[in-house]
Chains A and B, each alone.
Chain A
Amino acid sequence: MHLSQTYQRILQCSGFAQRASGSAEENLLSDDMLVQRVADGDARALEQLYDRYARPVFSLALRMLGDPAEAEELLQETFVRLWQQAARYDARRGSLGSWLMSITHNLAIDALRSRRRRPQRADFVELCHLPLTDTDEATLAHEAAEVSELRDRVRRAMAQLPEPQRQAIELAYFAGLTHSEIATVLGEPIGTIKTRLRLGMQKLHLLLRDHEPELPRHG
């Protein structure tokens, strides 16, 4: 019968059947496999990667730019780059997570420098209360598990640095300030800033080296 055939078709051909049987094959695909699909023009694969990485990408953009609207734009731009340049991704050079975050960081640095407006000192930026009423729950539910683990680990490592070293690193990385600009902001000699960055990064390397050279690799 027509009805029965239709139902069978939708149950067999659609994700309904997959979920009904408890097999979410697509959710098990690795980042590398999804990137390959994105390179082939599969928008749904892009959405799955968006689910996994939109949150850390948005959080990084927001931290650096300090403006939710600009951070949204940067989030979109990062994934548009992924859509356009997926074929260029080389898994041998690092994980997709690190690649996406590098794209985000570079875009944010470009934005900061092009508008020639330095944000507040990064460690003073307070972004805990954003007026969000329509949030994307999928990016929360499907965030790559390794992202959360790494976030906690980096946070713990940074907390172990002396405050002046942590401050200098954050001003360099998140605010995009140069040695001389950091020195001006903090009122310290430039040599002091270089020393703080060097000692801070050395200690950070020791604390985080278990995570190097590989960053989170989903699936």
Chain B
Amino acid sequence: MAECQRPFDECPEDLLPGYALGALDPDELDLVERHLALCARCRAAASEVRRTAELLAFLPSPHLVPARARRKLLARLRPVPSSSLTTWLRRPAWVLALAASILALLFGWQLAERDRSADQQAQQVIQADSQRRAVVQLLAQRDGLLIRLHGNGPARQAHGAIILDPSSNTALIAVEGLPRPATGQSYVVWLVRGQEYWQAGILPVDEHGHAELFLSPRESLRTFDALAITLEKSAQVSSPNGLPVALASLN
């Protein structure tokens, strides 16, 4: 391309700031763009003033961002209604810590009950205490989330919790007092988004009615509205048909 050999007084230098700021009227813009195609000197000058203009983007006074904007963004990335977990983060840290302590102490007690051997019991208590401190510490940092889980229907006496870590997209479901399902039946965990259900796994129940399931779904847990447990006649089901046992809102 032939570069501009014209004298400088023909270069539209007075228009370059307006060009960088996007303030040229149509005829001016046409003139400048045709000139820049030929003039390396003006291209360099325009590039320089544009870099300065770009810094103006940081001038506005900072404003707080509405939380709903993130939820809407995530929903747009996956075109289905999404729910927010951010409100959980605003729970007072002491509430989470207290809830975690109760949950962890329950687990610790169960560990102790299960092991008759004194050595094993001591080992389990140490381990449970370590785990308890880790969970309490983490929940107290407000990064972990604790959601209550109440049974209904055939599992009216069941109760438990979901410990959820949105940053790693993992969750632990722990339920007590869950009746053992009849032969062939299974408790199935579902992640609910609007009217859609995704099977998240089978919830195994031991002889004491205790059940746990670790979740690490591919999709972000933030995008789901609820977690549900149903009692199904078969574990191989693609949608819930059995009795609802528990439902926890993720809102």
Most chain A C-beta atoms within 10 Å of own C-beta, residue among B13, B24, B110, B165: B165
Query: Would you call A135 and B57 a contact (CB within 8 A)?
Result: no
Query: Would you call A201 and B49 a contact (CB within 8 A)?
Result: yes
Q: Beta-carbon contacts of A184-216 to B below 8 Å, as 1s and 0s?
A: 000000000011011011101100110111010
Residues of A at under 8 Å CB distance from B? 1-4, 6-7, 9-11, 13-20, 26, 43-44, 46-47, 50, 54-56, 58-60, 62-63, 68, 72, 75-76, 79-80, 83, 98, 101-102, 104-105, 109, 127-128, 130, 132, 134-140, 147-148, 150-151, 154-155, 158, 169, 172-174, 176-180, 182, 194-195, 197-198, 200-202, 204-205, 208-209, 211-213, 215
Query: Would you call B58 and A154 a contact (CB within 8 A)?
Result: yes
- The number of chain B residues touching the other chain, given as a range, is 35 or more
Query: Would you call B138 and A59 a contact (CB within 8 A)?
Result: no
Is the C-beta of B243 less than 8 angstroms from some C-beta in chain A?
no
Query: Would you call B65 and A60 a contact (CB within 8 A)?
Result: no
Known contacts A13-B168, A50-B73, A151-B59; A198/B14 CB under 8 A: yes
Is the C-beta of B118 less than 8 angstroms from some C-beta in chain A?
no
Query: Would you call A127 and B61 a contact (CB within 8 A)?
Result: yes
By secondary structure, the B interface counts as helix
The residue that B167 contacts in the complex, of A15, A59, A63, A172, with Cβ under 8 A, is A15
A100 to B172 CA separation, bound complex (whole angstroms)? 37
Query: Would you call A132 and B64 a contact (CB within 8 A)?
Result: yes
Is the C-beta of B30 less than 8 angstroms from some C-beta in chain A?
no
Known contacts A134-B68, A173-B22; A151/B58 CB under 8 A: yes
Q: B25 to chain A: which residues have CB within 8 Å?
A: 178-180
Known contacts A15-B143, A15-B165, A43-B74; A2/B212 CB under 8 A: yes
Is the C-beta of B230 less than 8 angstroms from some C-beta in chain A?
no
For residue B48, which residue of chain A has the nearest CB?
Answer: A205
Query: Would you call B143 and A3 a contact (CB within 8 A)?
Result: no
Known contacts A98-B54, A178-B25; A19/B63 CB under 8 A: no
For residue A114, give the distance in angstroms from its CB to the closest CB of chain B.
Answer: 14
